[in-house]
Amino acid sequence: MRDKKGTRDRLSEEDIFKRDYSKIRQIQPRASQNNDEKIRRLAQDSPRSQRKSRQKGGSVFIKISVPLLALAIGTASGLGGGYYLWGYERPYTINLKEIEMPSWIEQDFIRKNLFSRPDVTLKRVDNIVIHYVANKGSSAAANRSYFDNLADQDPQKSGTVGGSHFIVGLEGEILQIIPLSEVTYAAAPRNFDTLSIEVCHPDDTGEFNPKTYDSLVRLTAWLCEELELSSKDLIRHHDVSGKNCPKYYVENEDAWKQFKKDVKEAMEK
């Protein structure tokens, strides 16, 4: 057998990047042919996915056929170039694997699998993306189970993909279901440089209740501090893909501005 440790030591950062990108290309659903050019352009600025998708749990859920997975997101020269710019144009010194979770965050990781936890390294975090689960009254535990159950799909047939790093529940509970150092299917084509937070809500308006809201502010402020980000780096799923997510905070711009203000104040405290 080969010396795994020695082999890894000889790999350069660029080699590791190429290996991981090759892997993600094989598991990410491909954008429609008509949208490739737009994705190429937006991937170098503030990308907005125009994929044909359906929403459940606030993330991107796309029917995929496994034999076509190797076709990748967009084109290799387009999205690949965008990821290369995000990850390597500027130095990034934060080691995502070394960030320790506080006691008020419960870690309950879902299984590694093709559909909801692809086990691909996340190189950097430039933005934190806020979602809503789009399933009124559902708990954090229920949404965590949904993502975990995606692993039970037949990898040889069409399936549904989705995921998130955190879920904030109706009682203010916070679950971490994917490590900070791994890519998740949540905000394509920005999966390579963002963290995602799914948030539960009691009714169809999508507005977060006080317990949930307070926990989301606490979590987001803590993440911003750990990742050396500011409230200006908080974005909605809508800002990435145009989806009406998180619904209440897309339809009520003042509420979104207030959320960012509350996070900023929490960081200052």
Q: From first to last of the 269 residues of the chain, give the pLDDT tens digit.
A: 434 444 444 555 456 545 554 555 455 443 333 333 433 343 344 333 333 333 444 444 444 444 344 333 333 333 443 444 444 456 899 999 999 999 999 999 999 999 999 999 999 999 999 999 999 999 999 999 999 999 999 988 889 999 999 999 999 999 999 999 999 999 999 999 999 999 999 999 999 999 999 999 999 999 999 999 999 999 999 999 999 999 999 999 999 999 999 999 999 98
Question: What six digits make up the tokens of 164?
Answer: 């998130």
Position 70, amino acid: A
Specify the DSSP class assigned to residue 113. Answer: B
How many Å apart are CA 104 and CA 231, to the nearest integer?
Answer: 21
CA dihedral 171, 146, 185, 167 (to 10 degrees): 10
173 Cα distance to chain centroid: 19
- Check residue 47 and give its pLDDT: 36
Q: Is the peptide bond before 189 cis (omega within 30 degrees of 0)?
A: yes
Cα 176 to Cα 47, 104, 105, 167, 238: the distances in Å are 25, 11, 7, 7, 22
Position 73, amino acid: I
pTM of the model: 0.71
